[in-house]
Every structure is written in C-alpha cells, then in structure tokens.
C-alpha cells in the first residue's frame, strides 16, 4: 500500500465511523418509539438488497458470492451479527449512546483475548496485561460498587462480546471464503433471520419516522460501502485505530441531540479502554 492510499484509507475510516455514529443515533430514536426487532428487521431488508446488488455486479454474480464450503459457519456468523445489533440498539435505549459506546469500545480487547482459543493465535504477556487494564476501565465505567449491580450495564458488554466473536469467526471464515462471500451471507441470512423474528412485532409507523427509517437504511448501506473502500485502499492494521472515533462521534451526538450526560467514571474508564485497545493493536503489529 502506498502512503497516499493509506492516507485516503484513514480518511475513509473517519468518514465510516461518523456515518455509523449517525446510524446509531437514528437507531436510538426509532428504537425508543418502536420495537427494536422491527427496526432492525427493516434495516436488514435494505442491507440485504444492498448486498445482493453488490454481488450481482461482480464476476460470477450471486452464484459466485453465495458459494461456500462452510455454510454453517457463515450462517452462524450472520445470525450472531444481527443478534449483536439488536442487543446494542437495546443498549442505546437503556443506557444511551455515551455509556453504551464507552463499554462497547472494549471489543478489540475481547478479540485479542479470544484470538488464542478461537484462532490459535499467540497472545503475549504484554497484550494480556493491556487486556487486564482495559477491563479495569470497563469496571470503572460500569461502577458496580458494593450495591446491587445494574443489569442494564451488561447489555452493551454482551454486544461487545458477540461482536468480538463475530470478528474472529469472520477471520476464520476468510481462510476458505472470500470477503465477498462472507459479506453476502451476512446480509442475506441476517435479513432472513430477522424477518422470521421481527415480523411478529410489527407496529404502524408515522410518516416522519418512515423518513428516519429511510435515513437509517441509507446510512447503513453508505457505512458498509465506505468501509469496503477503506480496506481496498489501506491495510486493516493502519486504519483500525481510527475506528475508536465512533465513540467520540456517538458520544457527541448523545450529549448534543439526546441530552445525555457524561459522568467522570465513564470518561476515565473509556480513556483507559481506548488506550489499552490501541496498545493491543500496536503489539499485534510489533515483531516478537
């Protein structure tokens, strides 16, 4: 990769995180008014249409995109991601954007911790130390204290765990399938799974909220498009640190639009989590 393409990839990653933060804000609004399962179902209908359109334009069409030697793995990945999205959107309605994203930021640490048992990768003591420090940051955010633990705080943590496992399984699937195949299965199987569940929770929507739903679908497609272009221009290790900007954008949106506050423990804890995550990314690239 040339320095110019890497720079362009970094800027595209910044744009991607901004788009996804806007998508999270719209999701928070709609899920506050309607059932989460219905909102995610409609979003996935558009996502599936986008995935099919992308596959149809490539060599071999949809038949080539759908071809896989590991259908159970691909299907499980797709269902896992759509479940994670439902859980995370629920977290937005329970805790808000700021706190949910502060906790969710630990997912790179979970990927590092699980890469050994799932992918057989070696995790050195330095990264294990960073993982431990990162989870100390999560505890500072959740502030369990000595009283009764708020079960709502577990929601974004569960979403982070599911997303980390999804990321690891995507890397595992890449050993036999192309990125285009994984992308196709993610969208189509996810849409089928969400329709089977979400259709039972259909609620009539107002005209303005259909407009917000249209924006949710467009930001979803735009975010995935810019993410694809990002990885075409730059290596994942070069752009991944900038994915943390989604926490900044989402927190800004939560404070300015939804009137959320940001407590000192969330600010300090999120700083620790991000610093630990950046260290694990650096150690993953460092030799030895």
- The 10s digit of each residue's pLDDT in 205-232 is 999 999 999 999 999 889 888 887 887 7
The DSSP output letter for 69 is S
pLDDT of residue 146: 44
pLDDT of residue 162: 95
More confident residue, 238 or 220: 220
pLDDT of residue 283: 66
Q: Hey, what's the torsion of the CAs at 1, 177, 37, 85, to 10 degrees? A: -40
Over 60: is that where the pLDDT of 148 sits? no
Q: What percent of the chain has pLDDT over 90?
A: 39
pLDDT of residue 144: 59
**Quick count: other Cβ atoms within 10 Å of Cβ 211?**
11
Among residues 165, 147, 40, 61, which one has the least CA distance to residue 108? 165
Tell me the C-alpha distance between 155 and 29, whole Å: 18
pLDDT of residue 147: 47
Mean pLDDT calculated for residue range 122-141: 79
Tell me the C-alpha distance between 248 and 148, whole Å: 30
Tell me the C-alpha distance between 251 and 262, whole Å: 8
The DSSP output letter for 257 is T
**Quick count: other Cβ atoms within 10 Å of Cβ 199?**
11
- 3 state DSSP class of 88: helix
Alpha-helical runs (H) found in the chain: 3-33, 36-57, 61-66, 71-95, 97-104, 107-119, 125-142, 154-173, 179-198, 207-233, 236-239, 245-256, 264-285
Among 12-16, 204-208, 238-242, which stretch is predicted with the lowest mean pLDDT?
238-242
């Amino acid at each position: 990769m040339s320095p110019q393409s890497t720079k362009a990839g970094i800027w595209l990653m910044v744009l991607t995180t901004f788009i996804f933060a806007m998508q999270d804000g719209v999701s928070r609004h709609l899920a506050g008014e309607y059932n989460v399962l219905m909102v995610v179902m409609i979003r996935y209908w558009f996502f599936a249409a986008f995935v099919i359109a992308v596959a149809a334009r490539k060599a071999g069409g949809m038949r080539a995109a759908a071809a896989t030697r590991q259908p159970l793995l691909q299907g499980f990945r797709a269902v896992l991601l759509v479940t994670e999205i439902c859980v995370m959107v629920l977290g937005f309605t329970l805790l808000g954007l700021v706190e949910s994203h502060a906790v969710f930021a630990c997912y790179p640490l979970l990927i590092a911790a699980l890469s050994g048992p799932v992918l057989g990768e070696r995790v050195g003591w330095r990264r294990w130390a960073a993982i431990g420090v990162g989870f100390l940051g999560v505890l500072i955010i959740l502030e369990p204290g000595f009283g009764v633990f708020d079960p709502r705080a577990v929601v974004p943590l569960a979403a982070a765990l599911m997303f980390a496992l999804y990321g690891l399984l995507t890397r595992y699937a890449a050993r036999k399938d192309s990125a285009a195949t994984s992308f196709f299965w993610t969208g189509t199987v996810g849409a089928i799974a969400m329709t089977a569940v979400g259709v039972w929770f259909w609620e009539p929507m107002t005209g303005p909220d259909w407009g917000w739903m249209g924006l949710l679908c467009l930001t979803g497609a735009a975010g995935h498009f810019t993410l694809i272009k990002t990885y075409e221009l730059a290596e994942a290790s070069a752009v991944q640190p900038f994915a943390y900007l989604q926490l900044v954008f989402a927190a800004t949106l939560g404070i300015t639009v939804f009137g959320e506050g940001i407590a000192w423990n969330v600010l300090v804890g999120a700083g620790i989590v991000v610093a630990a995550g950046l260290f694990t990314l650096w150690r993953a690239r460092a030799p030895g």
